Amino acid sequence: MQAMEAEATSMVPDEDDDGWVLESAYGQNGAAAVSYALSTWRTDDPQHAVWVALQVYEVADYAFWQANPNADANEDGPVLRSEFVQTALSAIDQALDTVASGPPLWDDLRQRAEVDGRSWAATYP
């Protein structure tokens, strides 16, 4: 698990890299989420799960700003109300409900995350 976690961490693009492109932010949040998820599994520390959820939220936030570059950053609510963020929060909520309802069927949870992730990613700019 530690080796997989280290590998996922090494895949997080650095914002200072010369090769940074729009998609690098998606890769950064995605690789960090995988690293934190592996750390959650390895350590059973719920704080790492919070960091996974934060990465999911941050990628949704980033997608909103890419799709709405002229949105007013001082206006209350458009990011939170956006389809990007609402879909991310809904997926997080569903995963938490699954885990809270008893011992989850990990294959089912993983499969749903893959399907949701693919459809979610298809909507991103």
pTM of this structure: 0.81
Q: Which pLDDT value is given to residue 111?
A: 85
Q: For the stretch 67-76, what's the b/e string if a residue is b when 16 or more beta carbons lie within 10 angstroms of its beta carbon? A: eeeeeeeeee
- Alpha helix (H) ranges present in the chain? 2-10, 22-43, 46-67, 78-81, 83-100, 106-122
From first to last of its 125 residues, what are the pLDDT tens digits of the chain? Answer: 778 777 777 777 666 666 667 788 888 888 889 889 888 888 889 899 899 999 999 999 999 999 999 999 888 899 999 999 999 999 899 888 887 887 767 788 788 888 888 888 888 87
* Packing angle, helices 46-67 and 22-43, rounded to 10: 170
